[in-house]
Amino acid sequence: MLEILTRGFRDVRQYLQGVRTLNEENLSEALAMIRVSLLEADVEFQVTRSFLEKVKEQALGEIVHVSVKFKERKLKVSPGDHFIKLCHDELVRLMGPEDASLDLRRKPVSAIMMVGLQGSGKTTTAAKLARFLQKKGNRPMLVAADVYRPAAVDQIRKLGADLNVPVYSDGGARPPEICSKAMQIASDANCDVVIFDTAGRLTIDEPLMEEIHQIEELAHPDNVLLVCDAMIGQESVNIAKAFNERIRLTGFILTKLDGDARGGAAISIKEATGVPIKFVGMGEGMDRLEEFRPDGLASRILG
Annotated binding site for GTP: 116-123, 197-201, 255-258
Q: How far is the CB of 269 from ligand GDP (least distance, A)?
A: 15
Query: Under the rule (CB under 6 A), what is the footprint of ligand GDP?
Result: 116, 118-125, 200, 255-256, 258-259, 281-284, 288
- Kindly list the distances between the CA atom of residue 51 and the CA atoms of 11, 45, 79, 86, 101, in Å, as whole numbers in the listed order: 18, 10, 19, 10, 26
Q: Cα-flanking dihedrals φ and ψ of residue 117, to 5°?
A: -80, 160
- Least Cα distance to 26 among 36, 37, 14, 38 occurs for 14
Q: Which is nearer to ligand GDP, 19 or 266 (CB)?
A: 266
Q: Which is nearer to ligand GDP, 2 or 27 (CB)?
A: 2
Amino acid (1-letter code) at residue 88: H
Q: Which is nearer to ligand GDP, 22 or 126 (CB)?
A: 126
Q: Indicate the annotated binding residues.
A: 116-123, 197-201, 255-258
Whether residue 165 contacts residue 130, with contact meaning beta carbons closer than 8 Å, is answered with yes
Q: Which is nearer to ligand GDP, 175 or 200 (CB)?
A: 200
Q: Which is nearer to ligand GDP, 125 or 169 (CB)?
A: 125
Q: Which is nearer to ligand GDP, 66 or 297 (CB)?
A: 297
Q: How far is the CB of 175 from ligand GDP (least distance, A)?
A: 14
Return d(Cα 18, Cα 271) in angstroms, integer.
34
Q: How far is the CB of 41 from ligand GDP (least distance, A)?
A: 18
| Residue at shortest CB range from ligand GDP | 281
Q: Which is nearer to ligand GDP, 80 or 251 (CB)?
A: 251
Q: How far is the CB of 249 from ligand GDP (least distance, A)?
A: 16
Q: Cα-flanking dihedrals φ and ψ of residue 200, to 5°?
A: -115, 150
